[in-house]
Structure 1
């Protein structure tokens, strides 16, 4: 198992320090160096985080359950859950580079053994002060559960075996043995990451809907079909807002921007009883659907995890209409609804969403919203203080000028600049749709599973700085040179990007002022050299725009600029690589551009 990734480790550390450390019991040993105390506090806070997530405990209660200190005798947290009558004994390892191994397990086993014997005198003050509480817990508990939590590379087989010696020893502490659970509960890096991302989710939609003319299809997929009042869907919209459409390809377009939505509202105004016949209906997915009461004439469905995947415009338009016309009666307005039991984020859920929306006028870019990677990035960027919008219609009007908003189009452009493929600057200028199709190789080369939120932010900051500087140059410079800064911006940015790969791939988000200071001089040099290379080519009866509308011209200029700026024009290795022709190359001059990219001097 891989350890917790650095980007999520940074998020976790920040959360532990801000949310959990203030609620921890005071350190008993305060004479240690501050660096040791700070490290210990994070480790202790992680024990509280584990209980908070595993048992849905409040942060303060979870932190108060921590007994970890510099001398804890192998136990880091103890918590009794009265509702399940379970006593949890927790040992954590807050080290990325190491497994939870046999020595850790032996310490945990020995500590648990002493506690099961109620030998409180062998523990630190954090345990001793809870003697009465723990005595009551041992009297009431029906189960005792050992928990191992870690952020490193796994829970070794030897460690598991060492703990099994305790859990499978039926003669050990006779009263406790029958309550001690045989399986060790694990909480590893995958669960840490999932729980961190879940905190930034838009919420779960649970509730009820009453359907008339209800039909139940219980074949391959549990499906419920019927007629529902539009007012009931409006109520769901008002209660849950965007959470109701989380896996929808599009959010609400707004009645002022869509003729379809205007028509929906006009029907509600003038002929609500005709609404059913003029609408295609609503499709939703739900994690759980129950139909305990009613008949086919009127069936009450209870659902959990509902997501409307087709019909967002219908419901949102109706909700907008009701808000603007509170006195208007729409009780006669009804719509056909299909609710399918399926995980909206699973493969089947995404395929249904795609199929149902092919009937609508949606762009290729809209389908990127079905890629779970986009939602993961949105949640991760939220921790970093950025609002990420991957649904084009949901993009705020101030997205281009706000430093805290990142759109998927900005992300695509920024990421593409750092790729080696010689065609990307040309496509960014002329065929941006190549990067918008989630099934394309171009899209997949950008939004990889190794891309971190910090890297994305840094690359977008780089892109914005270069874009803005070149736009200023274009506005201030007349003639072909000004047009070059306008139409050749992606070439200049791609050349400079290769020099910044180490910089933007740092684990932390770079300050914009820091990035600007580092890039100002290199960008000025890059801009000038690129123009010097382009000047003889774009002023001979050919417009600058038409020059950059040619893939061949763009690729040749890119080669010329990179070799000059990286100081490789006279390099023997570079010229040797240029002599090699290979029809099997994935893109024009693949060997050349891979060589140039690896030789780019880093800023």
Structure 2
């Protein structure tokens, strides 16, 4: 097992410091150096975090269950859950590069054995002050559960075996109440729970259908007619959460003729709405139909997500809000509810298929990639709002420092790739990066990409874009047009010199970006223009020049060689003379060499 990735470790540390440490019992030994105390506090807070997530209890209550201190006898947290009559004994290991090993398990086993024997005198004051509470818990508990939590590289087999010895000991006085398996809470669960915190919420609600039909078989499906007013009520109650897996959010009636038509029908002929509308399709994790008849059935829905028909419901909701006196009670719509996990493979395939009938762009389908939602949630922790549904992008996205769009992300990420064709495609064939099934898209949004890296690359792109745009406005003739149309060539050449910086674990401050890039970018810009001047704008349109892939690749090669000081390099010249038909992209060896040899800022 891999350890908790650094980007999520940073998020976790920040969360522990801000939310859990203030609620912890005071440290018993405050004579230790401050660095040791701070490190211990994070470790203690992690125990509270584990209980908070595993048992769904409040942060304060979870923190109060922590007994970890510099002398804790192998137990880090103790919590009794009255509803399940389960006593939880927890040991955590908050070290990212270490495995929960046999030594850790033996200490835990020893401490658990002493506590099960109610030898409170062998523990610190955090345990002793809870003596009465723990005595009551031992009297009431029907189950005792050992919990091992860690952020490192795994839970070793030897450690597991050491704890199993305690559980399997038939002579032990707690044999029978000790649960047969050790509950494990590792890096994958930590990451999943952190991401889950930034979800838009789960919609659990009910919907009444008339003329209801149940189609069983391979996919449990419910079909019927719903009052549009009932769907509007769901919209008002749950807002965007109702459409979380929809490809698009509401466009607004001003921006869509379809939405204007929907609202006009509601205004003039609501009883005709059913015949003029394609209907609504939704997915739900669980569908129950316990009440009513086929003529009038109430469905109970868990994990509801409207995957097709958001425009219908949202347009109607907007109409009702703007026209409160209009009666839409006669408006009805055909509804199909399919039992399926909206985030699973089948749910995504249904969403894709149902939306192929609509005028959606290739870029919209990127919203079905779970990676996009993971990045949105991670960026929320970093203070950035990430929008991966093009039509749902805020109007101020281009001028807001805290908003990142998927198009900005695509452009920024592509600049740091080695492929010589990417600057040309960014200028002329951006759709290559918008198709979630394409190799170009997959090369950008990898599992290895962290939120901090994405933010840093977007900040880099914005800085270069703004500087070159200013130069384009201030400079006349071919040079100004070069900065306008050749922006991706200059930015790609510059990006290779900044790749170490953007891949750091933390988000770079804008002041750092400005200071680090200002002079090197000006030098790179000038080198690129000096290289381009003899061939760009000489008897041809600058735009036409950059609309040719061969021109763009050759210019990028020359610009990178010049700005990296490699024009006279023997290795560079030797690679240029090697022709290989098996290369993945034009001059692959050359560009890989230019990239690896780029001096870092």
Residue number in structure 1 paired with 2:533 = 535
Q: What do the CA deviations read for 1:247-269 (whole angstroms, capped 9, x no partner)?
A: 00000000010010011111111
Structure 1: how far apart are the matches of 2:558 and 2:473?
Answer: 25
Post-superposition offset of 1:170? 1.6
Q: Is the partner of 2:2 in helix, strand or coil?
A: coil
2:286 to 283, 288, 293: 288
Residue number in structure 2 paired with 1:511 = 509
With normalisation by structure 2, the TM-score equals 1.00
Residue number in structure 1 paired with 2:308 = 310
Structure 1: how far apart are the matches of 2:326 and 2:538?
Answer: 67
Residue number in structure 2 paired with 1:327 = 325
Of 490-499 and 537-546, deviating more is 537-546
Residue ranges of structure 1 left out of the alignment (5+ in a row): none
2:548 to 537, 547, 550: 550
Post-superposition offset of 1:297? 0.8
1:244 to 242, 245, 258: 242
Q: Is the partner of 1:219 in helix, strand or coil?
A: coil
1:415 to 413, 438, 458: 413
Residue number in structure 1 paired with 2:74 = 74
Q: What do the CA deviations read for 1:564-601 (whole angstroms, capped 9, x no partner)?
A: 11111111111111111011111111111011111111
2:437 to 431, 439, 448: 439
Residue number in structure 2 paired with 1:141 = 141
Structure 2: how far apart are the matches of 1:207 and 1:510?
Answer: 43
Q: Is the partner of 2:498 in helix, strand or coil?
A: helix
Q: What do the CA deviations read for 1:500-519 (whole angstroms, capped 9, x no partner)?
A: 01000000000011111000
Structure 1: how far apart are the matches of 2:54 and 2:545?
Answer: 60
Root-mean-square deviation (CA, aligned residues, Å) is 0.6
Structure 1: how far apart are the matches of 2:67 and 2:297?
Answer: 52
Post-superposition offset of 1:116? 0.4
With normalisation by structure 1, the TM-score equals 0.99
Structure 2: how far apart are the matches of 1:25 and 1:177?
Answer: 31
Residue number in structure 1 paired with 2:360 = 362
Structure 1: how far apart are the matches of 2:494 and 2:536?
Answer: 21
Written as runs of structure 1 = structure 2, the 5 A alignment for 1:346-425 is 346-425=344-423
Post-superposition offset of 1:540? 1.9
Post-superposition offset of 1:539? 3.1
In the TM superposition, structure 1's runs of 4+ consecutive aligned residues that sit over 2 Å from their partners are: none
Q: What do the CA deviations read for 1:311-353 (whole angstroms, capped 9, x no partner)?
A: 0000000100111111111111111101111110110000000
Written as runs of structure 1 = structure 2, the 5 A alignment for 1:84-95 is 84-95=84-95
Structure 2: how far apart are the matches of 1:447 and 1:520?
Answer: 28
Residue number in structure 1 paired with 2:119 = 119
Q: Is the partner of 1:526 in helix, strand or coil?
A: helix
Q: Is the partner of 1:482 in helix, strand or coil?
A: helix
Written as runs of structure 1 = structure 2, the 5 A alignment for 1:479-494 is 479-494=477-492
1:270 to 262, 268, 271: 268
Post-superposition offset of 1:2? 0.5
Structure 2: how far apart are the matches of 1:67 and 1:325?
Answer: 59
1:338 aligns with 2:336: yes
Structure 1: how far apart are the matches of 2:166 and 2:414?
Answer: 55
Structure 2: how far apart are the matches of 1:225 and 1:2?
Answer: 45
Q: Is the partner of 1:212 in helix, strand or coil?
A: strand
Q: What do the CA deviations read for 1:91-112 (whole angstroms, capped 9, x no partner)?
A: 0000010111100000000000
Q: Is the partner of 1:177 in helix, strand or coil?
A: coil
Q: Is the partner of 1:536 in helix, strand or coil?
A: coil
Written as runs of structure 1 = structure 2, the 5 A alignment for 1:31-70 is 31-70=31-70
Q: Is the partner of 1:83 in helix, strand or coil?
A: coil
Post-superposition offset of 1:230? 0.6
Q: What do the CA deviations read for 1:342-395 (whole angstroms, capped 9, x no partner)?
A: 110110000000000000000000000000000000000000000000001111
Residue number in structure 1 paired with 2:427 = 429
Structure 2: how far apart are the matches of 1:546 and 1:496?
Answer: 23
Residue number in structure 2 paired with 1:153 = 153
Q: Is the partner of 1:293 in helix, strand or coil?
A: strand
Q: What do the CA deviations read for 1:414-454 (whole angstroms, capped 9, x no partner)?
A: 00000000000011111111100000000000000000000
Structure 2: how far apart are the matches of 1:149 and 1:120?
Answer: 23
1:221 aligns with 2:219: yes
Aligned residue pairs total 601
Post-superposition offset of 1:217? 1.0
Post-superposition offset of 1:270? 1.1
Q: What do the CA deviations read for 1:296-317 (whole angstroms, capped 9, x no partner)?
A: 1111100100000000000000
Post-superposition offset of 1:295? 1.1
Q: Is the partner of 2:534 in helix, strand or coil?
A: helix
Structure 1: how far apart are the matches of 2:53 and 2:528?
Answer: 54
Written as runs of structure 1 = structure 2, the 5 A alignment for 1:118-197 is 118-173=118-173, 176-197=174-195
Structure 2: how far apart are the matches of 1:21 and 1:579?
Answer: 62
Written as runs of structure 1 = structure 2, the 5 A alignment for 1:544-583 is 544-583=542-581
Structure 2: how far apart are the matches of 1:572 and 1:529?
Answer: 21
Residue ranges of structure 2 left out of the alignment (5+ in a row): none
Structure 2: how far apart are the matches of 1:80 and 1:324?
Answer: 52
1:19 aligns with 2:19: yes
